[in-house]
Amino acid sequence: MLEWDGLRDFAVVAEAGSLSAGAKRLQVSQPTISRRIGALEAHLKARLFNRVPRGLELTEAGEDLLERVRRMELEALSIERFTLGADAAPEGAVRVSVIELFAEWLAEEFAAFSRSYPKIRIELIVDNASANLVRREADIAVRMFRPDQPDLVARKVGEHGLGFFASPEYLEKHGTPQRFRDLREHDIVGFDEAAIVSGTAKAMERLAPRERYVFRSNGLMVHVAAMKAGLGVGGTSAFLAEREGGLVRVLEDKANIMQEIWLVTHEDLRRSARIRATMDFLAAVFENNGPALAGESGARCGPPCE
């Protein structure tokens, strides 16, 4: 009889595209995963992968099996969510997916939550990518956009402001930009091109020539550290800049980009006592910190940021 673990290993390798990548995701050695795939192929009497220069490629039998495994996985996850969503007492583990921006702050806030709900265990997953709630990569996600999947439940809990900042030392040496076009004469701290997702990052790409970029990074905290070190002007969260200190806001009357903040969970989990308790707590934390999250100015960014 086929075992689910073998089918799961096959699906992970198929999605990863190679034995080494699949082994890394499963946290096992490459020889181990190779033996498991070989055993599955022997049991099914079918070749599931072809070796190609870039890794592994599914055979026709492999593609058919992957489709069936994915359907099985979704049904199993549905049953699991239904079971987990029926709990009546606020206890057990809750996996919360959050972007790097809010992670440290929320970790501090969860201290009070743990005192109120000592039987709920919080697992904070820090990832700037969106966790797949359907596949239970997380139970709750903090997102900067409203999801459109019909089986997800979303609650808007505030707005988050972004702006342009630089260190006092940099501004003393190079002057303070007064207009957007002034950025063309300043050193720019930017994000790695693959990480350009925020409004300030997109605006800066349009406002400043590429040759003005003196530093790029795909890490939020590294980005802030570079600005604090005086490398140049950059765009970041007003909330984070205030928490970190050592930065001065520029062009505040012209650029304050607002992003919505949403709490998201799966429809099957909304009845769970521990999920409700965690959602309500997070909503209160965001709503109580609304002014700090939004930034002091209510001005919206004009055409350069649209």
The pLDDT assigned to 70 comes to 84
Query: Domain check: are 150 and 190 in the same one?
Result: yes
* % the chain with pLDDT above 90: 39
Res. 203 pLDDT band, cuts 50 70 90: low
Query: Domain check: are 185 and 136 in the same one?
Result: yes
The pLDDT assigned to 304 comes to 39
pLDDT reading at 198 higher than 60 = no
Rounded Cα distance between 25 and 266, Å, is 24
Give the CA distances from residue 152 to residues 35, 82, 147, 251, 280, in Å, rounded to whole numbers and listed in that order: 38, 14, 7, 38, 16
The pLDDT assigned to 88 comes to 61
Query: Domain check: are 196 and 150 in the same one?
Result: yes
Query: Domain check: are 27 and 107 in the same one?
Result: no
Full-prediction pTM beyond 0.85? no
Query: Domain check: are 114 and 72 in the same one?
Result: no
Q: Which two structure tokens, joined as six digits, stand for 131?
A: 């966790």
Q: Which two structure tokens, joined as six digits, stand for 106?
A: 């929320």
Of 278, 277, 234, the residue nearest 255 (C-alpha)? 234
Task: Report the domain count for the chain.
Answer: 2
| Mean pLDDT along residues 239-259 | 87
Strand partners, 125: 97
Of 279, 239, 277, the residue nearest 258 (C-alpha)? 239
Question: What range defines the domain where residue 204 resides?
Answer: 90-306
DSSP-derived pairing of the beta strands 233-237 and 188-191: parallel
Res. 149 pLDDT band, cuts 50 70 90: confident
CATH number, domain of 25, equals 1.10.10.10
**If you average pLDDT over every residue of the chain, what do you get?**
84
CATH number, domain of 222, equals 3.40.190.290
Radius of gyration of the chain (CA): 24
Higher pLDDT, 127 or 124: 124
For residue 266, give the amino acid letter.
H
* % the chain with pLDDT above 70: 85
The overall longest dimension of the chain from CA atoms, in Å, is 73
Q: What residue has token string 């650029």?
A: 255
The pLDDT assigned to 280 comes to 94
The pLDDT assigned to 166 comes to 96
